[in-house]
Chain A
Amino acid sequence: MNIFTRFGQFLLMIRGMFTRPENIRMYWKELMHQCSELGIGSLGIVSIISLFIGAVSTVQTAYQFVSPIIPRSVIAQIVRDSVILEFAPTITCIVLAGVVGSKISSELGNMRVSEQIDALEMMGINTKAYLILPKIIAAMITIPLLVIIAMTLGIWGGRFVGDVTGILPHEIYDRGLVESFVPYNVTFALTKAYTFSFIITAIPAYFGYNVRGGALEIGRASTTAVVVSCVIILLADYILAQVLL
């Protein structure tokens, strides 16, 4: 199957999601369930990664800044902008592509192979709308929130490590954080977060939903879904940076 056929199938899947829900309450329940699964379920890993990214950024930036001419508060500015512009949205979403993407792909793949999707279709339920759309909407609600949390924790991690190790006292760090701050950067980061949250749910859903075969194919679909999602996230990252900055 070539890339154009797959892309066509993907577009048809997206189009097929938009029909009148059979029972709005059941869809809402599923959406809330997915918000909890995708959002709250990923909070732990996102927090750990963000804290360490912020901490490592501070240490490495300070290590490279040997000139006494450059004020130390610039370290905080660099950490802030790197975390907001790149680390929080992109790295978080690449990690989530692994965590959430493989979960979605294997869940749907298993449902397909064990005929659970057929059982839902038999009941007259639009499985694309009931199984895939709530996941995408839940991701678009929760992942930008996770990115905001990642920004906060990343910046705080940098501040904490700077202070504890004595690299950068928190008074200087705090001053650096507000210097030359561009609010548009947050808008740009959130635009990326929305784009990536669609990618990391829709692509694994496509691969999982279209699994044919058994356990081996589910595993293969999961791996392909994560790899393709990561590559497309990086491609989208570049395109968005080129277009919006």
Chain B
Amino acid sequence: MITINNIEKGFDGRPVIDKVSAEFETGKCNLIIGASGSGKTVLMKCLVGLITPDAGEIGYDGESFTNMDAENRKIMRSKIGMLFQGSALFDSMTVEQNIMFPLDMFTRGTRAEKQKRVDEVLDRVNLSGAHKKYPAEISGGMKKRVGIARAIVLNPQYLFCDEPNSGLDPQTSLVIDRLIKEITTDYNITTVVNTHDMNSVMEIGDRILYMFEGHKEWEGTNKEIIFSKNERLNNFIFASEFLKDAKDMRMLEVRGKIDNNRNMDELLK
């Protein structure tokens, strides 16, 4: 479990994160959602130590990450895997070399053992035939999957995904979402995902934290979000008239005021 307590961060005197507290549970997909500029990425970078918060506490399974010295932080980082928004694959290396890199750097196994592990994770993300391809030769969705493979190759306890669906079509987004969900439950890891994709929210959002202008505006599950009365949250998730209508229709269905098995052809006539 990851706990954050009153995290604050500002740049040039402008607060970006304002006293955010939350808990991210193990074995679940914890989503941070919010509009662009709401502080999601900064919060995630604070969580993994790429940005130092101005105030507040971050704890990984009871261990304070904020007060850790550099050596212990290195050890902790070996337990963290991260998928970056742009995948952050090393351009000069093939898919295989990208995934092999953390193994070469941090493990002492034989070449064959490392190769076996690379094959395993590539198989896990359904990229068995892409070993020798360079990042420039593969699609955006494949890059994300390679990024996930690299993030999980050292068996991390914590997985962070920064906008895993950005720039992907809805079908590929769904594949990535399901993959993240499967990895989280199969390996029983703590996963934190930054997203503003509502499909992801409904598909994998076991716990959801909604950020608005740097503070925590709402917290709940994907079952609760649809019925939330929080106006800002509703404005964010049901941004278009179409989605607002769809929500109203769903509410009416749930309350039994309209038949949820209604014939749409009849209604459209």
Contact = CB atoms under 8 A, between A and B. Distances in A.
Contacts of B125: none
B84 A118 contact: yes
Contact of A26 (B86, B91, B104): B104
Contacts of A118: 50, 84, 88
Given A116-B88, A116-B90, A124-B74, A26 B105 contact: yes
Contacts of A116: 88-91
A119 interface: yes
B48 interface: yes
B84 A124 contact: no
A23 B50 contact: no
Given A114-B86, A122-B50, A22 B80 contact: no
A191 to B, nearest CB: 34
B74 A115 contact: no
Given A115-B85, A115-B86, A116-B90, A122 B106 contact: no
Given A22-B105, A23-B104, A23-B106, A124 B78 contact: yes
A116 B98 CA distance: 11
A115 B84 contact: yes
Contacts, number: 49
Interface in A127-175: none
B77 interface: yes
B77 A122 contact: yes
B167 interface: no
Interface string A88-117: 000000000000000000000010001110
B105 A121 contact: no
Interface residues of A, number: 15
B106 A119 contact: no
Contacts of B80: 122
A23 B103 CA distance: 11
A26 B80 CA distance: 21
Contact of A114 (B74, B88, B101, B106): B88
Most central of B74, B88, B102 by chain A CB within 10 Å: B88
A123 B105 CA distance: 9
Contacts of A115: 84-86, 88
Contacts of B48: 122
Most central of A114, A115, A124 by chain B CB within 10 Å: A124
Nearest to A21: B105
B33 interface: no
A125 interface: yes
B46 interface: no
Contacts of B50: 118, 121-122
B82 interface: yes
A110 B80 CA distance: 24
Top 4 A-B residue pairs of the complex, sorted by shortest distance between their CB atoms: A124-B77, A115-B88, A119-B88, A124-B74
Interface of A: 22-23, 25-26, 110, 114-116, 118-119, 121-125
Interface of B: 48, 50, 73-75, 77-78, 80, 82, 84-86, 88-91, 101-102, 104-106, 150
18 contacts: A22-B105, A23-B104, A23-B106, A25-B104, A110-B91, A114-B88, A115-B85, A116-B88, A116-B89, A121-B77, A122-B48, A122-B77, A123-B102, A124-B73, A124-B74, A124-B77, A124-B78, A124-B106
Given A119-B84, A123-B78, A123-B106, 6 more contacts: A22-B106, A115-B86, A116-B91, A119-B90, A123-B77, A123-B101
